[in-house]
Structure 1
Amino acid sequence: MTDEDALVFECALDAPVEKVWRALSIPEYLERWLKPSAEKIDLAVVNSEENKSLTYRWRESGQGAIVGAEDSMVTFEITPMTDGGTWFRLTHAPMALPVAANGNSSAMLMAA
């Protein structure tokens, strides 16, 4: 996996780091913010550095989930800003990239 495979979202939040951390690390708060009731997402903490970063293993399940989809990693990084707000960075990266069945890789060309 390379950085090019990840989805990255960054923005400034008008809340202190401690408040953002609570929203990311307390399951009831995270669920209200991140998990719409119609979707089933299984999350497991992989790495945590209080008030700095938090990484979850993310797996979609239930109706609408992609069959055979691999887990992905979602990392939240938060940094205090001089105005009392928080710089927020979310990175959603696949753990393994699926290979297209109709790909034109050299292995596929040799088999033909």
Structure 2
Amino acid sequence: MTRNPETRISLTYELDAAPTKVWRALTVPEYVSQWLGNPVDSNNDDGPRENNFELRLISAEPDTRVRYSIKDDEAVSTVTFQIDANGNGGTTFRIVHEQAMIAANGNLPVLRQAA
């Protein structure tokens, strides 16, 4: 398996919201759909697709970390949300978005980057 280091994006934000509130925004389906635009739940695909991607929960550590797999027409990636109390009543919020690992034999289409 290979991973291209250029396919990883890492962002950190300081939020005024408490970690529990951020956790709920990342894990309660109604809240997730508000900021991701109603993705298709690949475990329950019984309705019309509103967006062109699927979202699948990989793992969750309560009030600490959530990982999702996101699949669209061209790629599969993982997004990890790290939640840490910042000592001021808010949250240090880290997002790491990376291309999923692919087989080294490269049977998948090549991803292209815009100039």
* TM-score class normalised by the smaller sequence: 0.7 to 0.9
1:55-101 deviation per Cα after TM superposition (whole angstroms, max 9, x unaligned): 001012xxxxx4xx231101100100110000001111001475479
Q: CA RMSD in A?
A: 2.3
Q: Aligned partners of 1:20, 1:28: CA distance in 2, in Å?
A: 14
Gaps of 5+ in 1: 61-65, 102-112
The one of 10, 13, 22 aligned to 1:11: 13
- The answer as to whether partners of 1:8 and 1:89 remain within 8 angstroms in 2 is yes
Looking at CA atoms only, which structure, 1 or 2, has the larger radius of gyration?
A: 1
- The answer as to whether partners of 1:35 and 1:41 remain within 8 angstroms in 2 is no
Structure 1 runs (4+) greater than 4 angstroms displaced: none
Report the number of matched residues. 94
- The answer as to whether partners of 1:70 and 1:96 remain within 8 angstroms in 2 is no
Aligned match of 1:74: 79
Q: Identity, % of aligned pairs?
A: 33
Q: Using structure 1 for the length normalisation, give the TM-score.
A: 0.72
Q: Using structure 2 for the length normalisation, give the TM-score.
A: 0.71
**Structure holding more helix per residue:** 1
Opposite residue 92 of structure 1, the aligned amino acid is H
Gaps of 5+ in 2: 40-49, 103-108
